[in-house]
Structure 1
Amino acid sequence: MFVKETKLKKWGNSQGIRIGKEELKELGFLDEDVVFTMTVDNGQIILTPKKNYPDTLEELFADYDGKPLDSEDKFVWGESVGRELL
């Protein structure tokens, strides 16, 4: 756990808090732009690093260099046991 006191400072027409190199290192971010989701709840500000997930299947598999599955690669799930057939 990392605990550090910080001050809210004027930044243009807004207020800002700087997140230092040590804190970003503790989060696992080094020299990269990080986008956070900010939640204000019950008097607390919660910053959560936003994960970069692909938006499309093409983006998800853009770097995939394996071969496509063929009919012999099918997975046998077994018999239906619930409401799968509805």
Structure 2
Amino acid sequence: MSEKQKHASAYWKENVRYLFILLTIWFVVSYGAGILFKDALDSIRIGGFKLGFWFAQQGSIYAFVILIFVYIRLMNKLDKKYGFDE
């Protein structure tokens, strides 16, 4: 395997690892906080709404948007690390 292929393989493995971690966080926030832990979170209120309801309706969307920006930052660093930046 050539050096370029090793770089590309390492780059892809790290990219997949980032994706897995970020999607796991999104799953925990959207499914876990919005559905599984809803009853426990409902004892806390934000703006008059129960926290479980807030996560199910808006919190998971906010978390997803934040994770998109985190992914962009991670990928920019990864591109520079492996020399794939423009």
TM-score of the superposition, structure 1-length normalised? 0.23
Which of 1 and 2 has greater Rg?
Answer: 1
Larger fraction in helix: 2
Larger fraction in strand: 1
> Relative contact order, CA 8 A, sep 6+: which one is greater?
2
